[in-house]
Amino acid sequence: MEKNWVLSLAILFVMLAFFQSTFAEEGYFQYKDYQICYEYFPARTDFQDNTPLVLVHGFMGSRTNFYPLITKLRGKIPIFTLDLLGFGDSSKPKVFTYSRSNLAESLASFIENSILEPVDLLGHSMGGEISLFLARNNPHLIKKLILVDSAAYSSTNHIPGWVLSLKPVSAPVIDIFLLNRPMMKYFLKRGFLSGKILKVRLNSYVDSALKSKARVILDLARDNEGGIKKEEIQKITTPTLIIWGEDDEAVPPEIGLRLDQDLPDSRLVIIPGTAHLPFEEKPEVVSREILKFLN
């Protein structure tokens, strides 16, 4: 009888640990007068002491872009995934100046005031450059840095060329001719993927993009502060893992090679058979590299 009681208790403990690591806790962080939407995926009880991992999406993306990767990582690491200001379900204020440095500042506030401890930080595409800005300005907030097909070096390579052509265009024109489902599907398949994608996931990316506003797109297209410079990157001593899709046309692997040369403590992993979204096309490979690096 006692053995059955112990076995039942053990099963209950395992089930509680599983459910704890399966369901996300969604919330909003107050940054100035704005709200940043985030989700928290707690680790299993035996992994709760692990450093939290924060996931930062790219241009016209959202926290949902990382769901395939989270599926592979959840339970093993406490995970936060968020929508940057101007994207997803976060506030899209009209009075905010959308630049990479300002978005990095809001991200720093989220880590300092919501997570309350240093984190491991993963940034994809434009989110990678925002993460580099954060590593330069607030190195005490980051234990380890992961860059996935990250933008860097110039004021333009964090967004596709077709967006830069919109600089002289007005917001209503973008709303009509760009922010629609057929156009988003077309651009997503150009250089962002090397193969097929499940329809539900394709729609998820399109849905994320359609939550963007024309003013946000134009602000970032016109952002002339310049990307993070080579000499600034060379001063970032945070241990860094660089992951790149071999077939990425949006931000080519040459950028990853440059980052690996300039960052003092880095390792580059190129994933064959993937493009700009390696965590979407091969989440098991990417998650394995991440866990190896973080452990």
Separation between Cα atoms, residue 92 and residue 85, nearest integer Å: 6
Q: Mean pLDDT for the chain? A: 85
**Is 274 in contact with 124 (CB distance < 8 Å)?**
no
pLDDT tens digits, residue range 45-86? 877 778 999 999 999 999 999 999 999 999 999 999 999 999
Classify residue 259: in a domain, yes or no: yes
Q: Which domain holds residue 165?
A: 25-294
Confidence band (pLDDT; 50, 70, 90) for 256?
very high
Classify residue 289: in a domain, yes or no: yes
Classify residue 171: in a domain, yes or no: yes
**What is the average pLDDT across 101-109?**
95
Classify residue 64: in a domain, yes or no: yes
**Domain count along the chain:** 1
Closest to 216 measured CA to CA, from 34, 101, 84, 33 = 84
User: Can you give the pLDDT at residue 13?
Assistant: 39
SS (H, E, C) 186-205: HHHCCCCCCCCCCHHHHHHH
Looking at the predicted structure, is the pLDDT value of residue 168 above 70?
no
Which residues make Cβ contacts (< 8 Å) with residue 116, sequence separation at least 6? none
Closest to 133 measured CA to CA, from 229, 29, 37, 221 = 229
Separation between Cα atoms, residue 25 and residue 27, nearest integer Å: 7
Classify residue 15: in a domain, yes or no: no
SS (H, E, C) 65-106: HHHHHHHHHECCECEEEECCCCCCCCCCCCCCCCCHHHHHHH
Separation between Cα atoms, residue 174 and residue 225, nearest integer Å: 23
Looking at the predicted structure, is the pLDDT value of residue 116 above 80?
yes
Separation between Cα atoms, residue 245 and residue 272, nearest integer Å: 6
Sheet holding 119-124, edge to edge: 25-31, 34-41, 79-82, 53-56, 119-124, 142-148, 240-245, 266-271
Q: Residues with catalytic annotation?
A: 125, 276
pLDDT tens digits, residue range 259-269? 999 999 999 99
Range in 51-60, 95-104, 211-220, 263-272 with the lowest mean pLDDT = 211-220
Residue 237 gets which letter from DSSP? Answer: -
User: Can you give the pLDDT at residue 212?
Assistant: 86
Q: Which two tokens stand for residue 156?
A: 């333009």
Q: Which two tokens stand for residue 168?
A: 């002289």
Separation between Cα atoms, residue 265 and residue 293, nearest integer Å: 12
**What is the average pLDDT across 151-166?**
59
Classify residue 10: in a domain, yes or no: no
Looking at the predicted structure, is the pLDDT value of residue 239 above 90?
yes
**CATH, residue 47:** 3.40.50.1820
Classify residue 3: in a domain, yes or no: no
- Measure the CA dihedral 250/254/256/259, to 10°: -130
Separation between Cα atoms, residue 92 and residue 70, nearest integer Å: 25
Classify residue 6: in a domain, yes or no: no
- Which residue would you say has higher pLDDT here, 15 or 258? 258
Confidence band (pLDDT; 50, 70, 90) for 19?
very low
